[in-house]
Amino acid sequence: MKLRTATPVVLAAALVLTASACSGGGTSAQPSGDGKSFEFWSFTGINQKKSVEDYQKANPGAQVKLTEVGSSVETAQALTTALAGGKVPDLVLIQGDDLPKFVQQPQNFQDLRQYGADKIKGDYLDWVISQPTAKGGEIIGIPTDVGGMAVAYRTDLFKEAGLPTGREEVGKLWPTWDAFIETGKKYTAATGKAFVDNAATSVFYQAVNQGPQKFYDSSGNVVYATSPQVKTAFDYAIKAAQAGITAKQSSFSEGWSAGMSRGDFAVISAPSWMLGSIRDNAPGTKGKWDVATIPGGAGNWGGSYLAIPKGAANPKAAWDYISKTQSPQAQLAHFTESGSLPTTPSVYQDAKLTGMKDPFFSDAPIGKIYTDSLLGLKPFLIGQDSSAIGQEFQNALTNVEQGKGDAAAAWGAALTNIKTAIGK
């Protein structure tokens, strides 16, 4: 999941890529209209290619033309352009924050009830399946994962700093975000190195996703400027940036990836889907990481949905992929392979999940850690401009962290930019 805003050049390139039938991963064969082949747009950084390969092995004759368009934001923008008149894919992966604006235009998508989505919606967490459900009852997407939250940390670097290394002891270091920042100060004082990768995603995006109200209230009114949850999370991030404990490396940037391998920072806030990024970007650090509870103990960041555009040429083939890869058992299998947390609560007590330990992360019981982070969670409403609002808050925080913005004026600057971006 990447939070960068797409540039016109990148977006244009992505659209040219898909229009010219070049593949960003998976097979390059064109959909044949045989009911088994289809074109699939995904975003990068989540190893969608592996899921496609597994599906094709299990379904001989199926051919999936996978294009990884770019970040989640870039993929949503490319889809918006395609829906307005371009060639749409048969299947598209939409990140949760980008979903609401598409749900408000259900006529642009296949109503998945015609394929049986209404019969399986009970398989999913009610607050998750409600998000792709339009006011008229149309179901335009099926959830693939949720982003239960935790913190990944380097045990070797903690030991060098004189900090405890056991996950339970580490979790007790930071019951609150203030305690997390204080722990960072101790680490940096002892080592002279950055404690955490950045303030925008590892502090703000975690803290803001831990309450019952984020950028919108339960009635759908915009409240980003007055929500105590948002302001408190923003202040935590400013405090972390000013404390000098961050590596100033934006998530998913080249510097972030390289710094992870080098040990330039010891901590990354890691929703369940982030574990795969750590494995992919720092394979040589296997066994040096562990996973502890997030400050505050609970929360959810992320989650994505598979949708079929209205103009899809091969909708039945796309639905076959959805139904076979997003069943409770299929999501459980995917979790054991990649760490993507299932949206299907029927498997939350399955021994394959509760007993799941990840050797890359020092055999951390990730199944229990991440499902515990969702227990008792009161989910917030995601609105049509949640992605844009979050991006502007992130931009303001990154500017402060990089020394380009005034900390005292950052909140006001973010609010001004948000109002300009969304008109309210």
Most trustworthy range by pLDDT among 200-204, 274-278, 383-387? 200-204
Mean pLDDT within 312-318: 96
- CA-nearest of 68, 50, 52, 89 to 10 is 68
Query: Does residue 18 register a pLDDT over 70?
Result: no
Residue 48, CB-side half-sphere exposure with 13 Å CA sphere: 31
Q: What is the pLDDT of residue 31?
A: 56
Q: Using 50, 70 and 90 to split pLDDT, how confident is the model at 86?
A: confident
Q: Using 50, 70 and 90 to split pLDDT, how confident is the model at 66?
A: very high
Calpha distance 411→405 (Å, rounded): 11
Q: What is the pLDDT of residue 33?
A: 58
CB 154 within 8 A of CB 361: no
Q: What is the pLDDT of residue 179?
A: 98
The string of pLDDT tens digits covering residues 176-212 is 999 999 999 999 999 999 999 999 999 999 999 998 8
Calpha distance 326→152 (Å, rounded): 27
Question: Could you tell me the pTM of the whole model?
Answer: 0.84
Which DSSP string corresponds to 18-61?
A: HHTT--SEE--PPP-SSSSEEEEEEESSS-HHHHHHHHHHHSTT
Q: What is the pLDDT of residue 378?
A: 80
Q: Where are the domains of the chain?
A: 8-146+302-346, 151-299+358-422
Q: What is the pLDDT of residue 235?
A: 98
CB 72 within 8 A of CB 301: no
Mean pLDDT within 53-67: 94
Mean pLDDT within 236-241: 98
Calpha distance 54→278 (Å, rounded): 22
Phi, psi of 262 (to 5 degrees): -80, -15
Q: What is the pLDDT of residue 46?
A: 79
Q: Which of 122-131, 307-316, 372-381 has the lowest mean pLDDT?
A: 372-381
Q: Which helix (H) or strand (E) holds 229?
A: helix 228-242
Hey, CA dihedral for 173, 237, 229, 380, is it positive or negative?
negative
- CA-nearest of 299, 129, 295 to 214 is 299
Tell me the pLDDT of the chain averaged across its residues.
Answer: 90
Q: Which of 47-51, 286-290, 325-329, 384-388 has the lowest mean pLDDT?
A: 47-51
Q: What is the pLDDT of residue 5?
A: 36
Q: What is the pLDDT of residue 347?
A: 93
What torsion do the CA atoms of 369, 128, 175, 234 make, to the nearest 10 degrees? Answer: 140
Strand ordering across the sheet containing 25-26: 25-26, 63-70, 37-43, 91-95, 304-307, 141-143
Q: Using 50, 70 and 90 to split pLDDT, how confident is the model at 252?
A: confident
**Topology alike, domains 8-146+302-346 and 151-299+358-422:** yes
Burial bucket for residue 423 (CB in 10 Å: 0-12, 13-18, 19+): exposed
* Helix ranges (DSSP H) in 295-354: 315-325, 328-338, 351-354
The string of pLDDT tens digits covering residues 36-48 is 899 999 998 777 8
Strand ordering across the sheet containing 151-154: 267-269, 151-154, 289-292
Q: What is the pLDDT of residue 10?
A: 36
Please state, as a whole number, how many other Cβ atoms lie within 10 Å of the Cβ of residue 30. 11
Query: Does residue 25 register a pLDDT over 70?
Result: no
Higher-pLDDT residue of 194, 13: 194
CATH code of the region 151-299+358-422:
3.40.190.10
Amino acid at site 102: F
Q: Tell me the Cα Rg of the chain.
A: 21
Q: What is the pLDDT of residue 47?
A: 79
Q: What is the pLDDT of residue 408?
A: 97
Q: Which of 15-24, 59-68, 110-119, 313-322 has the lowest mean pLDDT?
A: 15-24
Greatest alpha-carbon span in the chain: 63
Q: What is the pLDDT of residue 1?
A: 40
Which DSSP string corresponds to 81-119?
A: HHHTTSPPPSEEEEEGGGHHHHHT-GGGB--GGGGTHHH
- CA-nearest of 317, 338, 188 to 264 is 188
Burial bucket for residue 105 (CB in 10 Å: 0-12, 13-18, 19+): middle
Q: Using 50, 70 and 90 to split pLDDT, how confident is the model at 15?
A: very low
Mean pLDDT within 339-343: 88
- CA-nearest of 303, 281, 6 to 142 is 303
And the tokens for 184? 């960072």
H and E: helices and strands count for the chain = 20, 9
Q: What is the pLDDT of residue 138?
A: 98
Query: Does residue 58 register a pLDDT over 50?
Result: yes
Amino acid at site 159: K
Helix (H, G, I), strand (E, B) or coil at 358: strand
CATH value of 8-146+302-346 in 3.10.20.740, 3.40.50.150, 3.40.190.10, 3.40.50.300: 3.40.190.10
Mean pLDDT within 262-279: 93
